[in-house]
Amino acid sequence: MPKTIAMVIHPGFQILDVAGPVSAFEMAEHFRPGSYELLLMAPGGGEVESSSRLSMSSSCLMEGPFDTVMVVGGEIIRSMEAVHEILGWLRQTSARRVTSVCSGAYLLAEAGLLDGRRATTHWISSDDFARRYPRIKLDAERIFIRDGHVWTSAGISAGIDLALALIEDDLGPAVARRTAQQLVVHQRRHGGQSQFSALMELGGRTGRFAALIDWMQEHLPDPLTVERLADRAAMSPRNFARAFASETGMTPAKAVERLRLETARTAIESGHAPFEQIAEAVGFGDAGRMRRAFLRSYGQPPQALRRAATATG
């Protein structure tokens, strides 16, 4: 019996929020025929225009039960009538799993499905989301989060990561790995991987610290204290710490650790250098300290990530 995936779109939806997961489920179906049945639904059905003005054809919202409901993001408020219809439908629909991609988390939140749960969404919306929904335990750093039967994911391309995780949950790691290879995804990113790297590349929300972050990346082996970073930014330590946290959503110390983690992870997954050597090169000092940081952030030790990368290579 195929698992029914009900994907919910709305006027102004982000097309990649749909296309990415659909392609992943399609590939999984190829490797394990009869696994999935995909339904694309929207309030009223018919042709629905995306944020790019391209349209997709949909069916009306229909009664479940479904195996999985996936609500996609985009310009959610383009049609408040559609929003209210989706919210009513979500509150009464039965599904084994309820999921969202990007700002689709707003619809799950408005329907009350995330109250008391951990969730994530696109980092650019994190402040607004946290302010609107204080009962939700927002962790905007994560690529995707599972809390019971509810899964949420970060911005746009993270929908592919979410779909691959759902496929692994359903069909096992071998099928998920083959699906990722078929999609030419370098590797399935662990849910604990941070959205931080994208924000860092931009230098924060406004790009104010772009030059400093580039400098930090080049000096990871060095002691990168708040005082040294503040001096580099020509600011007092107190003002710098406050401004940096406002721009990036994390303290300077946390940002330094994240940069070291990202660099170390790349080295671990793409090469065979000893862990002790990598730890010294990125500023962790020793492999034990690096391992503890990996467990905190990724939920896995460096050895597990290298094994996974080797298996998918």
> How confident is the model over 196-239, as pLDDT tens digits?
565 565 566 677 898 898 899 899 999 999 999 999 999 999 99
| Pair (116, 206) in one structural domain | no
Host domain of residue 213: 196-312
142 located within any domain? yes
Virtual CA dihedral for 120, 124, 128, 132, nearest 10 degrees?
Answer: -20
188 located within any domain? no
Q: What is the pLDDT of residue 155?
A: 76
How many domains in the chain? 2
| Pair (200, 141) in one structural domain | no
| Pair (178, 205) in one structural domain | no
Last residue within a domain, chosen from 182, 212, 230: 182
Which CATH number belongs to the domain containing residue 22 in this structure?
Answer: 3.40.50.880
Last residue within a domain, chosen from 144, 159, 182: 182
Distances (CA, A) of 132 to 49, 115, 121, 125: 27, 12, 13, 11
pTM of the model: 0.70
| Confidence at 177, pLDDT banded by 50, 70, 90 | confident
State how far the Cα of 156 lies from the Cα of 231, in Å rounded to an integer: 37
Distances (CA, A) of 311 to 185, 187, 294: 14, 10, 19
| Confidence at 192, pLDDT banded by 50, 70, 90 | very low
> In this predicted model, what pLDDT tens digit does every residue of 22-41 receive, in sequence order?
999 999 999 999 999 999 99
| Pair (11, 137) in one structural domain | yes
State how far the Cα of 110 lies from the Cα of 158, in Å rounded to an integer: 21
| Pair (127, 215) in one structural domain | no
